[in-house]
Amino acid sequence: MRLSRYFLPVLKETPSEAQIVSHRLMLRAGMIRQEAAGIYAWLPLGFRVLKKIEQIVREEQNRAGAIELLMPTLQLADLWRESGRYDDYGQEMLRITDRHERELLYGPTNEEMITEIFRAYVRSYKDLPKNLYHIQWKFRDEQRPRFGVMRGREFLMKDAYSFDIDEAAGRHSYNQMFVAYLRTFARMGLKAIPMRAETGPIGGDLSHEFIVLAETGESAVFCDKRVLDLPIPGDETNYDADLSEVVTQWSTLYACTEDVHDPARYEAETKPEDRLETRGIEVGQVFFFGDKYSKPMKAVVAGPDGAERPAQMGSYGVGVSRLLGAIIEASHDDKGIIWPEEVAPFGVAILSLKAGDPAVDAACETAYAALTKAGKEPLYDDTDERAGGKFATADLIGLPWQLIVGPKGIANGEVELKNRRSGERQTLPLDAALKALGA
């Protein structure tokens, strides 16, 4: 992408309404714009990151055997009356009346709707297991929306729902998602730690939250710091095999948010030198809740014996839009964002220090063509802004690499290559720089 043709409205000033660094940086880097309290437009740069994150989530869901579909944003109130949650949900549910006075709502989650879909088509244990997911906009009418996309009202969530014939099979589905989440967050460059959690309005008695450690996190967390060094399941993971060993390994060391923290147990189970007390951001949560929805909603399947029983269900959420905030909280410096490679909106910034200079233009065009062809998604700053402004913007938007092309260097056949994370710079011939970038 040529910056002269792009739409990247970076801000020079620090927006006063933003209380946390990720919100500030997303506004300054021209990633989002608030359209109403807790409702954001995703400007082109933010949109690209959102799509990268969504795609990683999708790939890992698919790998674990979940099947993608897409449920609508609006739901019938009557569906929520079947489960009993319509009245329970309170003011966070956005209730809507259409022109024919039918009661609708903007879905805050989809347990009821997926159960309705399941019961319409599935009759037999032979069709199980099934794990169905979608990545769709949700709405929760927060009393005080804040922290940008971290606690917005309209937000993008991946939610998966598993259906099994019995509890043991249901636990296996839960374990599949648990492992998929370990992989998902690791691919985004995050250390997300599963922590035993309360189940809240979703229900059930088994749940883990996946928490990214960050000092600006919304809740205090207490953990055995050896959990940070546990291995992430690899590409070769067989999701059909028993995964309970991985889950046990990841859920044995003490790790709790303040909601369920037990100081006595903490002291008994951790050595003083292993204790880590910090704050965390929830980026995902998994639940197993058995027949909480399938029983009242009559989502039953016949077992091998012919007898019908309610499906055993779990649900599994990832806060896709919230993850942008979490990643920035975990990866930035005082100059701006530092994107992990896998979620970076572009792979490399090409900074022309003298647009219009024939030798500089030629080198930049060569680099742009080669990097584009190699799938490195370069963002070519071909504008006539001064060098200082270009450096500041490149650091702010945080692409992993900067390829700096100036007239003096080019006179010697050389360019500069800067790594955004380490700050390391090297001067080298253009060909070598392109090779280093994989082009």
E strands in 116-168: 130-139, 154-164
Q: How many CB atoms lie within 10 A of CB 87?
A: 9
With CB under 8 A as the contact rule, which of the stretches 34-42, 216-224, 260-268, 348-356 interacts with its own copies? 34-42
With CB under 8 A as the contact rule, which of the stretches 95-103, 168-176, 218-226, 350-358 interacts with its own copies? 95-103
3 state DSSP class of 64? coil
Give me the phi and psi of 394, to 5 degrees please. Answer: -60, -40
Indicate the residue among 123 and 435 with the shorter CB distance to its own copies.
123
Indicate the residue among 70 and 264 with the shorter CB distance to its own copies.
70
Q: List the one residue from 55, 74, 260, 386 that touches its own copies (CB under 8 A).
A: 74
Q: What is the DSSP letter of 76?
A: E
Distance CA 121, CA 140 (A): 29
Q: Is the peptide bond before 194 cis (omega within 30 degrees of 0)?
A: no
Indicate the residue among 53 and 223 with the shorter CB distance to its own copies.
53
Give me the phi and psi of 31, to 5 degrees please. Answer: -95, -35
Q: What kind and span of H or E run contains 175?
A: helix 167-187
The overall longest dimension of the chain from CA atoms, in Å, is 82
Q: List the one residue from 154, 159, 329, 395 that touches its own copies (CB under 8 A).
A: 154
Task: List all residues 6 or more positions away from 259 whose beta carbon is below 8 Å from its beta carbon.
Answer: 197, 198, 219
- Does 429 interact with its own copies (rule: CB under 8 A)? no
- Burial level of 100, CB count in 10 A (0-12/13-18/19+)? exposed
Residue with tokens 């259409």, as numbered in its chain: 98
- Does 39 interact with its own copies (rule: CB under 8 A)? yes
Indicate the residue among 143 and 412 with the shorter CB distance to its own copies.
143
Q: List the one residue from 59, 63, 117, 335 that touches its own copies (CB under 8 A).
A: 117
Indicate the residue among 42 and 287 with the shorter CB distance to its own copies.
42
Binding mask 213-232 for its own copies (x = CB under 8 A): --------------------
Distance CA 140, CA 151 (A): 9
- Does 116 interact with its own copies (rule: CB under 8 A)? yes
- Does 75 interact with its own copies (rule: CB under 8 A)? yes
Indicate the residue among 8 and 223 with the shorter CB distance to its own copies.
8
Least separation in angstroms between residue 154's CB and its own copies is: 5
Closest CA to 197 of 255, 121, 134, 269: 255
Indicate the residue among 67 and 387 with the shorter CB distance to its own copies.
67
Least separation in angstroms between residue 9's CB and its own copies is: 4
Task: List all residues 6 or more positions away from 344 whose beta carbon is below 8 Å from its beta carbon.
Answer: 49, 52, 398, 399, 400
- Does 139 interact with its own copies (rule: CB under 8 A)? yes
Least separation in angstroms between residue 75's CB and its own copies is: 7
Residues that bind its own copies in the complex, under the rule CB under 8 A: 5-7, 9, 30, 33, 35-37, 39-44, 46-47, 50, 65, 67-76, 79, 91, 94, 96, 98-99, 102, 104, 106, 113, 116-117, 120-122, 130, 132, 137, 139, 141, 143, 154
